Structure 1
Amino acid sequence: MAVYSMTGYASAQLEALVNEERQNAPHRQLGLEIRSVNSRFLDLSFRLAEELRAQEPMLRALLTAKLKRGKVEVRAFFAETGDSGSLPDPSPQVLQRLCSIQDTVKAWLPDAAPLSVSDVLRLSLAGSAPAADWSEQLKKLAQGALKDLTTAREREGERLAATLLDRVSQLRALAKQAGPLVPQLVEQQRQRFMERWKEAMGLAEGSVAPEMAQDRALTEATAFAIRIDVAEELTRLDSHLDEIEHLLKKGGEVGKRLDFLIQELHREANTLGSKSAAMELTKISVDMKVLIEQMREQVQNIE
């Protein structure tokens, strides 16, 4: 199963006659656009032409069956495509009725703008033509646009998955560098404690038992080794990276799970930095957190 992004765009158009019984009747273009961006949940909004408002439940059912997360905006509209020469002549009765309505409006609202020629043509056409049933055409358009949107989201999801896998590989390389550093630091610190013990023994001139001083030095070295041991953090980090790779290969609705794992990665990188006793480990921790933050930005767009 593929990984899907929550970002995508698709559109579709369909030509249809306003009045199929009239050979020279103007055409209208039914258009539909779907835009999608990231969101924690599925958030649908609709901007539909007046004749299409009744189709919102149908559109909502189509979208919820295919999409699980994202802020999705659906816009459906009409556009005239016929030329003015093909427009029907308004009947005198319709023109008289529009004039009467305009006079009534002017009597109550003197500042209202007068009807333009385009207003008259639109209103006369709307009044003379029966209301068309666009449900089948709109459903067909929505299905096609939704298919294109899913394809776009899948294509973007593939890119996001490839980017995340690349960051996973870089994190593994950094963890591999961090692993051998801890034993080296422990050994270096043990040598420093032993040197301090020898210096202390020289200054004490026999007033302190050698066994006691040596035990104290070894105890401090052991405590230091425990304090800077990051084996558990590296093990958990490797486990989280394994799970991320598994989810990306599995696909489907993995965005929320990935977001949780990114938080866990950040926690382990922070702990690694807090336990750091050398610049090398500190630099590795910082580099890890940069990569993890880049992953977080990508994961925010995954469904």
Structure 2
Amino acid sequence: MKSMTGYGFGEVSSNNGITFRVEIKSVNRKQFDLKLSIPQELNEFESQIRKIIYESISRGSVFASVNLIFTSDSLKKSIKINHEILKAYIESAQKFSSENGVIQNLSIAELYKLPKSVEIINPEISSDEKCVVDLFKSLDTALEQFNKARDFEGEYLKKHFLEKLSILSNLLEQIEKLAFELPKIYHAKLLDRIRKNQEIPIQNEELFIKEIVMISDRCDATEEITRLKSHFIQFEKLTCQETPGRNLEFLLQEIQREINTLGVKAACSEISPLIVTFKTEVEKIREQIQNIE
């Protein structure tokens, strides 16, 4: 079981003075959504990076960034000064200055700001096999940390779910014992009504029989209790799977439906508080299940 919340970081320095830094983080979301930020030097690897991340994550809103960090030596190699263009700028400025009587006072910093005077040559990462290996090594490291963080939180949530499941089982056991006594309670109430009326008028005999059948059906919560016990067993099995999020959400909806029906059938002063407590615990589980992949 994995949480949809996690963080991972990976950094690998290559021999050519480039360091690859990868960060991956996620929050819960029903579907998979990936926002990827990479520098233009790595555009040709975007589809591969997306594929690797997609194969590791099935649900959640994921943000991944890949950054390049250059050493001073590598930066020197990547900067090209266009001397011919600079000479042309200076000569044009001097000519304009002499012809128009304008003082020419261009600084080096101002010259470098002029178009095409300085070029940044992007490194050819794809042509360097070692560099490509280091790029994906940093991605693998980030994903490994990311999945470890999700596994850790997932185990914590699993423990939380099993504790809540134990509470629900205890509540259901109490409800079952009380529900077993309900027919006797309703039967006693019915007898009390008969004693008060002494006898059942002939014209109301059919209505009386219908009421007996209705009460018997209303009191029988056996189906709901049996299904809830089955759901509990299935829920525990699902917590052992790697990505049970969607199945757990569906199963919890079924548990909620059964306890609602049970609450209607077994409505009495002794059982109703237990039903309310049961529903409260189910809601606590529902909130946390939204974080499960």
Which TM-score band (shorter chain)? Answer: 0.7 to 0.9
Alignment gaps of 5+ in structure 1: 21-26, 104-114
- Displacement, 1:253? 2.3
CA distance, structure 2, for counterparts of residue 77 and residue 118 of structure 1: 26
Alignment partner, residue 42 of structure 2 = 52
Alignment partner, residue 8 of structure 2 = 10
Whether 1:291 aligns to 2:281 is yes
Secondary structure in 1 matching 2:267:
coil
2:120 counterpart letter in structure 1 = A
Q: 1:273 aligns with which of 244, 250, 263?
A: 263
Q: 1:197 aligns with which of 194, 219, 222?
A: 194
Whether 1:142 aligns to 2:139 is yes
CA contact (8 A) 1:194 1:217 kept: no
CA distance, structure 1, for counterparts of residue 110 and residue 232 of structure 2: 66
2:191 counterpart letter in structure 1 = M
- Displacement, 1:241? 0.7
CA contact (8 A) 1:193 1:218 kept: no
Whether 1:166 aligns to 2:159 is no
Shift of the 191–88 alpha-carbon distance from structure 1 to 2, 3 Å rule, reads closer
Alignment partner, residue 282 of structure 1 = 272
Secondary structure in 1 matching 2:239:
helix
- Displacement, 1:33? 0.6
**TM-score, structure 1 normalization:** 0.76
**TM-score, structure 2 normalization:** 0.78
CA contact (8 A) 1:193 1:220 kept: no
RMSD across aligned C-alpha pairs, in angstroms? Answer: 3.5
Alignment partner, residue 151 of structure 2 = 154
- Displacement, 1:284? 1.6
Post-superposition CA distance 1:115-173 (Å, at most 9, x none): 789989xx95723x743344322111111111111111111111111111111111100
Whether 1:248 aligns to 2:246 is no
Alignment partner, residue 110 of structure 1 = none
CA distance, structure 2, for counterparts of residue 279 and residue 130 of structure 1: 76
Alignment partner, residue 230 of structure 2 = 239
Alignment gaps of 5+ in structure 2: 93-108
Whether 1:34 aligns to 2:24 is yes
CA distance, structure 2, for counterparts of residue 70 and residue 139 of structure 1: 22
The number of residue pairs the alignment matches comes to 269
CA contact (8 A) 1:190 1:218 kept: no
